Amino acid sequence: MLKGRITKALSGFYYVEAEGAIYETRARGLFRKTKESPLVGDIVTFQVENEDEGYIGEIHERKNALMRPPIANIDQVLIAMSMKSPEFSYYLLDRFLAYAEAHDIEPVIVITKTDLLEDDASLDEIASVYKPIYDIHFTDRDQINEDLQEIFRDKISVLAGQSGVGKSTLLNTLVPDLELNTAEISNALNRGKHTTRHVELVEIGGGLIADTPGFSTIEFTELDKYNLKFCFPDFNSFSEACKFRECQHINEPKCGVKQAVAEGELAASRYDSYLAIYQEIENRKARY
């Protein structure tokens, strides 16, 4: 038996990297019973059949998993948001962040196209909202922060962001030796709906990145509205002042979160995003 990581899934085969070699493996019937299927990113134990084939016997516990794109054990999601074309949106960024939180994935915010701005006022505002909570970086095509250089090392990353925010540009600027693979990666990033579902982890800057379009639109189909507040970590310290322990920070009196917004201690944009997503989850529930 060997232990390794699935780096690619294609047509019922799982390609597992173990001890410096790649094994083409299949999953045994065992998983059909439990309805559990292996995902790219999974750590698995497999039975070696010959020098490059095997059968997966066990999927090790995942720290997290996404279904679209189908990847497990993600260390971070790079959420790319441009300042212009497309226009920056607090709400959209908050959706991505809440989605990452809901899936236990560490978000890293990358704000792109800062060169298209006339002044830095909006950047300062964005920094003031997110710096206390998240890792946030500001970039433009010609200038990538030093602190982003090592961002991929020893991690499994996924990219997220709307079309056109500069995801492929960012990757190519960050990892110039990716040059050879540029066409490949941007193809992969652009592929979206057209080709069959094939996910692969590719090497980038000493780590691995999923060569999928990442996620560009998101739905909160699995999240319970009562759990949404836990996806806004900046609410935590203020919710200690809520009168009711189960406070949803909506209609309840003596709510510490609403008070913090009123006093300007918590960004109104964050609270508005929370309300909008909460409403969306509630409406979805009502439909069924």
Ligand X SMILES: Nc1nc2c(ncn2[C@@H]2O[C@H](COP(=O)(O)OP(=O)(O)OP(=O)(O)O)[C@@H](O)[C@H]2O)c(=O)[nH]1
Would you say 111 or 247 has its CB closer to Zn ion? 247
Min separation Cβ 141 and ligand X, Å: 4
What is the per-residue binding string for Zn ion in 220-249, x denoting contact by CB under 5 A? Answer: ----------------------x----x-x
Establish if 7 lies at the interface with ligand X (CB under 6 A): no
Candidates 51-59, 193-201, 221-229, 255-263; binding stretch for Zn ion (CB under 5 A): 255-263
Among ligand X, Zn ion, none, what does residue 229 contact (CB within 5–8 Å per kind)?
A: none
- The tokens for 127 are 């920094």
List, in order, residues 6 or more apart from 216 with CB less than 8 Å away.
160, 161, 162, 163
Picking from 97, 76, 140, the residue whose alpha carbon sits closest to that of residue 228 is 97
Establish if 211 lies at the interface with ligand X (CB under 6 A): no
**What's the CA dihedral at 153, 80, 126, 252 to 10 degrees?**
-100
What is the per-residue binding string for Zn ion in 185-214, x denoting contact by CB under 5 A? Answer: ------------------------------
Total of chain residues touching Zn ion, rule CB under 5 A: 5
Task: Tell me how far apart the alpha carbons of residues 254 and 46 are, in angstroms, rounded to a whole number.
Answer: 56
Establish if 169 lies at the interface with ligand X (CB under 6 A): yes
**What's the CA dihedral at 65, 67, 70, 74 to 10 degrees?**
-30
10 Å Cβ neighbour count for 11?
A: 6
Among ligand X, Zn ion, none, what does residue 247 contact (CB within 5–8 Å per kind)?
A: Zn ion
Task: Tell me how far apart the alpha carbons of residues 10 and 12 are, in angstroms, rounded to a whole number.
Answer: 6
Position among 128, 145, 149, 163 found at the interface with ligand X (CB under 6 A): 163
Task: Tell me how far apart the alpha carbons of residues 45 and 26 are, in angstroms, rounded to a whole number.
Answer: 12
Among Zn ion, ligand X, none, what does residue 163 contact (CB within 5–8 Å per kind)?
A: ligand X
Establish if 116 lies at the interface with ligand X (CB under 6 A): yes
- The tokens for 248 are 């949803």
- The dihedrals phi and psi of 46, each to the nearest 5 degrees, come to -135, 155
Candidates 55-63, 108-116, 243-251, 256-264; binding stretch for ligand X (CB under 6 A): 108-116
Which positions lie near ligand X, rule CB under 6 A?
Answer: 112-113, 115-116, 140-141, 161, 163-169, 189-190
